[in-house]
Copies of this chain bind each other. A is one copy, B any other.
């Protein structure tokens, strides 16, 4: 992304919402992410997952978070300089992501500083909710080319 394109801090206002496209999470992706970063039985083995607290195969919460980032980058949020998180507040995983789920993101500006992001599955159910403290440049921070 060209750093001189996109929205500046001055362009964001409370109540603005931004949506994203959809990404389908398949079983192989759940296995691949978990094998590298979160190798626990309920992310790697369907039989073990059925006997776990999840009651079936579930994506790692970090996989859901990473997919959320990917969806945000494709959304209309587009802060100038890119999407740079200084931190998160109140990150929750209210329900598991299952193989075949299609995720999309709804993002709402709740202050000029932070924004709330919700990742939903194909049934409109929240799978990840967090408050992101984005670094967003003021127009004067970047020379206009």
Contacts and interface: CB of A to CB of B under 8 A. Distances in A.
Contacts of A36: 66, 70
A61 B85 contact: yes
Most buried by B among A62, A67, A90, A135: A62
A42 interface: yes
Nearest to A63: B66
A42 B82 contact: yes
Contact of A92 (B40, B86, B130): B86
Interface in A60-111: 60-63, 65-67, 69-70, 73, 81-93
A133 to B, nearest CB: 8
Contact of A88 (B66, B70, B91, B135): B91
